[in-house]
């Protein structure tokens, strides 16, 4: 056989350098589509380079390609970690960059898991599109993250594409975007492999985001009609904009700012509820005397029910001496404290020392570690005949956690209080809000979000931001919200369907598919 008669070398699998270049491109596109940059149309193509790069690869290489995409995305998307580490550690920039890289290398494991599962399933004869979709679901559901995120947030500005969240949470929103990527990948791969594309498959995959958008266009007017018919309340949110260290140096200034801004809101009309930010009342108080102290100090003079952040102290008989609670307290119109919720997702080392409760003497070694302890109840706060699901800081980006609170007791409203001043004037506050929006759609309730430095916002039950603050400025906002208590499929079933899909993805990764007739 002459050289001219030799069959051309197969294009796939791609050489590692080319494949990793495509994976890196996927990471960049993912970052650009994400909140903060908000080039959301890129969500329909961000996975495309990685899908092509994974073609024909071994599981080990598939994991490496996924890691490259994930590391690129997280190093770009979590750039704000560098300044946070410098501020709180006091270490030089180079060392903080090392710590940031280690964290992002771990976070990238989510996409590495996706690549590994996909490559294993494809190697065992399963359809590649089903394998990738299953791997995506499993990676979003199963991989534990220190800073959680969801691909669904890429379209947070497009309400019609968000409405599937009431059926299946963030994964239900992300999957149609993945389907669009798979449809384009089939067209591109067919061209590269010089074959006819599977047109029916392409049509079916392309139809998924179209059906998702159609569902959204149908549901939004229906939810709006329910909202118009529901009883209303005028709610205020206060953003005091205390600096991170200023909150600690002058604890009374934060309280003064919240009181002054609340009076400004009341001057424009009565409030049915006002929400302050996380640790808005900064001075720690003994939990036994705090309700009476707060009533005498400010709640009796507010003239409206309020949810405010406080730091409560409990004495303990061990080496710690005391523990702290990051709490949300509810006071009624007469100023009596009638409800309390204690934060449960605590920040390691900043708020607590891992294993500190089991081995209190560790605090003698690490004296600067926080002594906060998690709360033990998810019960909503009760205001009149209404229930308010209240959660603190980044608890609002965990769909299963918020669902647990909503299911604990009857709830009509979602309230979050946060302090994102830790991260400076970066994209992080906007990312945080984009992720939190999904909770309103999942449960078809208003979300009232008060932060210390932004972004504070009112989000309606279809995910639209009705009003929002800027970042790093004092601001007070008021809006009309509805008391709503609808049933949603996600509220009832949660992630149960996705656990089944993840089990199927793991099965495809380990069980070889038997060829069907004619294969």
CA–CA distance, 397 with 242 (Å, rounded to integer): 23
How much is the pLDDT for 294?
97
CA–CA distance, 175 with 438 (Å, rounded to integer): 15
Please tell me what DSSP assigns to residue 169.
H
pLDDT level of residue 111 (50, 70, 90 thresholds): very high
Please give the model's pTM, rounded to 2 decimal places: 0.94
How much is the pLDDT for 255?
93
How much is the pLDDT for 357?
67
Domain boundaries along the sequence of the chain: 9-225+496-508, 231-310+327-342+377-483
- Say if residue 275's pLDDT is above 50: yes
Residue-wise DSSP of 288-330 = TTHHHHHIIIIIHHH-S-EEEEEEEEEE-SSTT-EEEEEEEEE
CA–CA distance, 273 with 465 (Å, rounded to integer): 19
Residue that has been written with the tokens 């092509």 in this structure: 52
- Say if residue 305's pLDDT is above 50: yes
Least confident of 109-118, 196-205, 241-250, 350-359: 350-359
238, β-bridge pairs: 476
231-310+327-342+377-483 — its CATH code? Answer: 3.60.110.10
CA–CA distance, 304 with 334 (Å, rounded to integer): 8
What the block records as the tokens of 223 is 């939810």
- Between vectors from CA 480 to CA 476 and to CA 483, what angle results, nearest 5°? 125
Where are the alpha helices (H) located in 409-473, listed in sequence order?
A: 428-443
How much is the pLDDT for 1?
47
Please tell me what DSSP assigns to residue 515.
P
Three-class SS state of 415:
strand
User: E strands, 141-242, where?
Assistant: 232-239
**Cα 236 → chain centroid:** 24
How much is the pLDDT for 246?
80
CA–CA distance, 276 with 148 (Å, rounded to integer): 25
How much is the pLDDT for 3?
47
Question: Are the CB atoms for 488 and 417 separated by under 8 Å?
Answer: no
Question: Are the CB atoms for 159 and 216 separated by under 8 Å?
Answer: yes
Q: Residue 119: which of 59, 178, 48, 53 has the closest Cα?
A: 59
How much is the pLDDT for 247?
78
- Say if residue 25's pLDDT is above 90: yes
How much is the pLDDT for 46?
98
Provide the 10 A C-beta neighbour count for residue 397: 26
Mean pLDDT of 220-224: 98
Long-range Cβ contacts of 483-487 (<8 Å, 24+ apart)? 483/230, 483/231, 483/232, 483/233, 483/386, 483/412, 483/413, 484/226, 484/227, 484/230, 484/412, 484/413, 484/444, 484/445, 484/446, 485/410, 485/411, 485/412, 485/445, 486/226, 486/443, 486/444, 486/445
Three-class SS state of 352:
strand
């Amino acid at each position: 056989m002459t050289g001219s008669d030799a069959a051309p070398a197969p294009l796939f699998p791609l050489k590692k350098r080319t494949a990793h270049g495509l994976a890196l491109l996927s990471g960049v596109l993912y970052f650009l589509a994400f909140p903060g940059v908000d080039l959301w149309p890129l969500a329909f193509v961000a996975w495309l380079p990685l899908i092509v790069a994974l073609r024909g690869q071994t599981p080990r290489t598939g994991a490496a390609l996924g890691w490259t995409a994930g590391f690129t995305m997280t190093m770009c998307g979590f750039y704000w970690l560098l300044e946070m580490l410098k501020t709180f550690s006091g270490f030089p920039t180079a060392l903080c960059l090392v710590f940031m890289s280690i964290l992002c290398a771990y976070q990238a494991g989510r996409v590495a898991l996706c690549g590994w599962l996909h490559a294993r399933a494809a190697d065992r004869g399963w359809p590649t599109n089903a394998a990738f979709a299953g791997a995506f679901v499993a990676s979003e559901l199963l991989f534990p993250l220190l800073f959680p995120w969801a691909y669904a947030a890429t379209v947070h500005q497009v309400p019609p594409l968000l409405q599937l969240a009431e059926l299946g949470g963030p994964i239900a929103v992300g999957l149609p975007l993945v389907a669009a990527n798979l449809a384009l990948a089939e067209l591109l791969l067919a061209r590269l492999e010089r074959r006819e594309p599977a047109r029916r498959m392409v049509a079916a995959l392309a139809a998924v985001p179209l059906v998702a958008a159609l569902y959204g266009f149908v549901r939004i007017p229906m939810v709006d009609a329910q909202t118009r018919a529901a009883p209303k309340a005028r709610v205020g949110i206060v953003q005091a904009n205390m600096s991170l260290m200023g909150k600690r140096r002058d604890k009374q200034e934060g309280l003064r700012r919240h009181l002054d801004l609340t009076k400004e809101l009341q001057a424009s009309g009565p409030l049915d509820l006002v929400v302050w930010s996380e640790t808005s009342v900064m001075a720690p108080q003994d939990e036994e005397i705090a309700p009476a102290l707060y009533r005498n100090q400010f709640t009796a003079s507010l003239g409206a029910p309020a949810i405010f952040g406080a730091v409560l102290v409990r004495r303990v008989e061990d080496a710690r001496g005391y523990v702290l609670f990051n709490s949300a307290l509810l006071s009624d119109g007469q100023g009596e404290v009638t409800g309390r919720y204690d934060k449960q997702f605590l920040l390691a080392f900043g708020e607590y020392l891992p294993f500190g409760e089991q081995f209190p003497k560790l605090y003698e070694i690490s004296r600067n570690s926080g002594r906060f302890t998690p709360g033990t109840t998810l019960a909503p706060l009760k205001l009149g005949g209404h229930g308010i699901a209240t959660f603190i800081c980044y608890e609002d980006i965990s769909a299963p956690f918020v669902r647990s609170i909503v299911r604990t007791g009857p709830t009509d409203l979602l309230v979050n209080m946060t302090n994102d001043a830790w991260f400076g004037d970066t994209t992080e506050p906007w990312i945080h809000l984009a992720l939190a929006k999904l909770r309103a759609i999942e449960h078809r309730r208003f979300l009232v979000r008060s932060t210390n430095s932004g972004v504070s916002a009112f989000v309606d039950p279809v995910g639209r931001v009705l009003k929002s603050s800027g970042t790093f400025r004092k601001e007070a906002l008021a809006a009309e919200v509805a008391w709503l208590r609808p049933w949603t499929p996600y509220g009832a079933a949660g992630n149960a369907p996705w656990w089944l899909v993840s089990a199927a993805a793991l099965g495809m990764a380990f069980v070889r598919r038997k060829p069907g007739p004619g294969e």
